Chain A
Amino acid sequence: MDVLSHLTDGFASAFSPMHLLLAFAGCTLGSLVGVLPGLGPATTVALLLPLTYVFDPVGALVLFAGIYYGGMYGGSTTAILLNVPGETASVPTTLEGHPMARSGRAGAALATAAIGSFVAGTISTVAITFIGPAMSRVAESIQPAEYFAVMVLAFATVTAVVADAPARGLCSLFLGLAIGLVGIDSLTGQVRYAFGVPELYDGVQVVAVAVGLFAIGEGLYTAARMRRAPEEQMLPVGGRIGMSREDWGRSWKPWLRGTAIGLPIGALPAGGAEIPTFLSYNLERRLSQHKKQFGKGAIEGVAGPEAANNAAFSGVLMPLLTLGIPTSATASVLLIAFQMYDVQPGPQLFQTQSALVWTLIASLYIGNVMLLVLNLPMIPLWVRLLKLPRPLLTAGIIVFATLGVYALSQNAVDLAIAVAFGVLGFLMRRTGYPVAPLILGAVLGPMTETQFRRALAFSEGDWTVFLTRPVSAGILCLALASLAGPMAVRLLRRRRSVPSI
């Protein structure tokens, strides 16, 4: 077996003391930062990006695999204990997990989230191991027109999922694409949108955009609300972290169902983690024998969505590694980490960077185990971090955010860009514009344009090429449907005057 021998090599490399240490450090740092209120996985990964300047590519990606999982895991802890979802995908967890914590069952909620994440993460990693190489072979034969269509689909689904009003999501997406245009055009050497600033010739640093939007924006948001908004009360973990026999009985099916929902949706180049978590939540509510408990702390409502979330998170790595297409904000930031090392994920990655990919996949297995074995008992310790004074925590976030941006190229222009995007992120958040499409557009924009122009070059300038090729046309129709679908549903609902949820 080709896959197994590659995987063995990967494990051999991942089990080196240095890489084990990095995986552990990643999980720990990820959960530590992710547990801070308001810091979702995307922000966590963005904040910790400066760490990539320090290690070799393989070591850095092993570290980031840990941060990726740890950040999400820390996020579910905050959702349960503080009722603050770090990102949209954690909303279902707050719906059931927080009531559980309020009735003294925080330990069970944290345990089912952690074990469910482990189960889902491991199953999904097995899927990546065996399907990933096959998918990358398929990806190799994709033509530019289809490539462009797939990216449009990714844009459409991320835009449609986050906002109910597509106009707002599209504003965010197109602004992101515009940011990706800045700098020297890679095909002709033409400078675009640099406005005479030499620092912009290489383009806007996406790290500065991500850190600004997520971390500095969060700081401004905290500052705005600190006096008038009620501070969230943190609940104690009360009792040991673990599950009773009944909890196990009620959890294992939702874990598997959550995985079955999250993995395929995440693995499609159109997924994200929001849809599967909400789908899983609704499914569990429908199937549960304890329907009355829902909204008051039903364990199924934590187990299913958390598993779905983690499965989707792992599934997202599939299009990221094989196509180079991120389908969530967090995956976009992860792609930035790859690009900092001139590692371009895509169809060739499994061949050109075989050692790197397989070490990364092996560390996903290891990271999952580490999170379960090492972090579950340490949750009370992370929670104590939340007792630090909030002003100091936020000041610390600001210091690390600015450090990460400055260390990037040691000039103040990047820092100014980050501050500007901090203000933008703050305004967008207050007015209901989603930021995920913006960061996705900024990261993926240049590649989209390249494929777009290649497709038109092949067709000798014929713009109908995207619609006359059946596969490309089909994917574009899907993209249109995913944007227009939710709108149509809303219109229908309004006409029938059924109250929307």
Chain B
Amino acid sequence: MSTPQAIQQPWGPRVAALLFLAAGVVVLGWAFAIPERATDQDVGPRAFPLLVGMGLCVSATFSTVQAFRGADREQTEQAREEARLTDWGPVAALLGLLVGYLFALTPCGYWQSTAVLFTLVARVLGSRKPLRDAAVGLVLALAVYILFDRLLGIHLPPGIIRLAF
């Protein structure tokens, strides 16, 4: 895999195909763990998962072979173009924010964490007006919180700093 041509191959298709293959192995492998009662004639809970697992394994194997050979020219072209235009920094930052939000939501409260999320996401996506973003984020988060939690009765975590009403 050290020839110049191999280096030029974008890695996206290979990663994607291998992920599908891994999923296929998991689906198929765990299908055997589903207990099937041999007594009755009906098809039990294992048959369909077996079919799905086999289907996923077969099509993912095809995809993997194609991706490693670079046989699917259209896919290779698209992946190369995407790779050229991709900046991984913002993607990682956005993902980090979302994961942080997941954990912050319950302890810190809905509107507090959402206001912060909004401000930081706007920042990651290139906004250079943090004060404006924070103001918009706060108003939006409070509006959503009041609308859902107080008016519509869909509970959202209140957090430490509670609203006065």
Q: Which residues of A contact B (CB under 8 A)?
A: 53-54, 164-168, 170-171, 173-175, 177-178, 181, 185, 187-188, 190, 192-193, 216, 219-220, 222-229, 389-392, 394-396, 398-399, 402-403, 406-407, 410, 412, 415-416, 419, 422-424, 426-428, 430-433, 445, 448-449, 452-453, 456-457, 460-461
Contact = CB atoms under 8 A, between A and B. Distances in A.
Interface in B10-65: 12-13, 15-17, 19-20, 23-24, 27, 30, 34-35, 41-45, 47-49, 52-53, 55-56, 59-60, 62-63
A227 B126 contact: yes
List 5 tightest A-B contacts by C-beta distance, closest first.
A174-B56, A170-B59, A391-B125, A391-B127, A167-B62
Given A223-B94, A410-B155, A432 B137 contact: no
A226 B53 CA distance: 37
Chain B facing A: main interface SS: helix
A443 to B, nearest CB: 15
A445 B48 CA distance: 10
B122 interface: yes
A395 B137 contact: yes
A436 B155 CA distance: 32
Interface of B: 12-13, 15-17, 19-20, 23-24, 27, 30, 34-35, 41-45, 47-49, 52-53, 55-56, 59-60, 62-63, 66, 72, 74-75, 78-79, 82-88, 90-91, 93-95, 98-99, 101-103, 105-106, 114, 117-119, 121-127, 133, 136-137, 140-141, 144, 148, 152, 154-156
Contact of B125 (A390, A431, A433, A445): A390
A193 B27 contact: yes
A431 B72 CA distance: 11
Given A224-B87, A407-B156, A453 B23 contact: no
Given A399-B144, A407-B154, A168 B63 contact: yes
A394 B126 CA distance: 11
Contact of A431 (B13, B59, B127): B13
10 contacts: A168-B72, A190-B45, A225-B86, A228-B85, A229-B85, A403-B148, A407-B156, A412-B103, A427-B16, A430-B79
Contact of A406 (B20, B48, B118, B156): B156
A181 B27 CA distance: 9
B136 A392 contact: yes
A216 B155 CA distance: 23
B67 to A, nearest CB: 8
Contacts of A223: 87, 90-91, 93-94, 124-125
Nearest to B154: A407
Contact of B66 (A167, A173, A391, A398): A167
Given A223-B94, A431-B16, A432-B79, A193 B30 contact: yes
B143 to A, nearest CB: 11
B42 A457 contact: yes
Contacts of A171: 17, 20, 56, 59-60, 63
B133 A392 contact: yes
A185 B34 CA distance: 11
Contacts of B15: 427, 431
A395 B106 contact: no
B91 A432 contact: no
Contacts of B85: 224-225, 228-229
Contact of B86 (A219, A228, A407): A228
B136 A219 contact: no
B51 to A, nearest CB: 8
B41 A461 contact: yes
A424 B101 CA distance: 19
A165 B30 contact: no
Nearest to A445: B52
B48, B66, B82, B103: most-surrounded residue (chain A CB, <10 A): B48
A399 B53 CA distance: 35
B22 to A, nearest CB: 11
B42, B43, B72: most-surrounded residue (chain A CB, <10 A): B43
A448 B105 CA distance: 37
Contacts of B118: 395-396, 398-399
A456 B106 CA distance: 47
